[in-house]
Amino acid sequence: MPFLQPKVTPLPPGIDLTGKSAVVTGASAGLGLETARQLLTLNLTTLILAVRNESKGATCIKNLLQDPAIKSKKPTIKVLKLDVNDNNCITTFSKTLPQTLPTLDILILNAGISRLKHNPSPSGHEESVQVNYLSNALLLAELLPYLNASAEKTGSPTRITWLGSRMHQTMTSFPKKSPLDTCDSVLEYMDGGDTVSPLYRYADSKVLCAMFMYSLAPRLDASKIMLNMVCPGMVDTAISDFLPIYWRLPVNLVKAVRARSVEAGGWLIVNAAVVAGPESHGRFLEDKEVLEVSKYIRSEAGKNVQEKLWEETMDELKKLTTLPREFE
């Protein structure tokens, strides 16, 4: 990838989301909040901010409704608590959402973290594995019957856009150190404190996400659910604030030269969620372009890891929920 990112063009004119509903996870700041804002400017009727901090979410609603581009549209905006580092909270959210919204048109899986330090989640898994991968898999498993039913009621596919990272192609440890060569389990490899280098942890978690999408999409009825994954590139958000100062300074310097604005990043997410056509189902979008499956994932070793990951993930999810038929 070139150092300078290609210019991002705005969304095409004429998008009208009147009568549509959307859920954005991790919507209290950064790309999640900007994506929510852009959807509302496109006449979205109902928006759910799925956030960990409900008080912060309430402040976001107040600010959104004061935005001149949104205020006159008078949308309905609500907050639902969703802590993606808490399986019980995910289950509660999944039961509450259908009671709050009869149907859902757009689901944007934005919530995620990037960490250098190995940190166990309350679930017992490494935190980035839990937050970036397993929580989204659980959320999809629990919501899938509702999403299918929504499509049947509205007559249009429910659209799911999951934020990924193109780093899963270039910055992963998997091709160099196959999980199945070093551990009996893919998740065991990812959970280990000394098996994954801190520099690879984020990208490796995004490999899991991409593999899961590639496994799940063919099992879905595309006339009811359209699933894609998008990378908005390097965006000027606070995601690097967790870094120690000796890393944060050079990263922030690179961001100052290279990063896209949050608005431009939001254009790419909204493009994947409402503009991209059926050709994007089960595919990874780099900016607005559909990419070929990464060289590693389509290799024999990658296929083996993807198959094993699906089996292990289903075993994990069975402990937490009843799997829909697409997951069996």
- Residues acting as catalytic residues: 202, 206
What type of residue sits at position 147? L
Cα within 13 Å of Cα(41), Cβ side: 17
Burial class (CB within 10 angstroms; exposed 0-12, middle 13-18, buried 19+) of 117: exposed
Long-range contacts, stretch 196-199, CB < 8 angstroms, 24+ apart: 196/118, 197/173, 198/115, 198/116, 198/117, 198/118, 199/116, 199/171
Residues 49, 71 contacting (CB under 8 angstroms): no
Distance CA 312, CA 180 (A): 13
Distance CA 142, CA 65 (A): 31
Helix, strand, coil content of the chain in percent (nearest 5): 50, 15, 35
